[in-house]
Amino acid sequence: MGAGPVVTGVPVPPAGIPSAPGIGGYTNTGVPTFESVRDKVEQRYGTSQGMGELDRQTPVGRSVEEQWDARAKAARERLEQIRKSVHGNDSE
């Protein structure tokens, strides 16, 4: 297990040290940096939260929420009717 010849004068980056981030949130090898990915995720999350808040403040958004609540209430009532009919048939 002999080692090969040692070449001097060729700069080799030390192992374990990541390459310096390049311009635009990417490393010199084209991989996105952690910071750029985190920033993009935070931006998308903030945009989503803001859109949800704006939707709830519009008449259409409130109408959709009211429709959802009405459907949920109707579903609970129907489920209760089904349970009563099943329990009513079990006692006979």
Residue 31 lies in a domain: yes
Phi-psi region of 51 (alpha: psi -120 to 50; beta: other; left: phi over 0): alpha
Residue 92 lies in a domain: yes
38-67: per-residue pLDDT in tens?
A: 999 999 999 999 998 888 888 887 888 889
pLDDT of residue 25: 86
pLDDT of residue 5: 64
> Is the pLDDT higher at 86 or at 1?
86
Pair 77, 88 in one domain: yes
* Residue 36's pLDDT band (cuts 50, 70, 90): very high
User: What is the span of the domain harbouring residue 89?
Assistant: 59-92
Please give the tally of structural domains in the chain.
2
Residue 40 lies in a domain: yes
Q: Which two tokens stand for residue 29?
A: 């090898």
CA angle at 73 for the pair 69 and 77, rounded to the nearest 5°? 170
pLDDT of residue 61: 79
**String of DSSP letters for 7-18:** P-S---PPTTPP
> Is the pLDDT higher at 3 or at 73?
73
Work out the number of other CB atoms within 10 angstroms of the CB of residue 21.
16
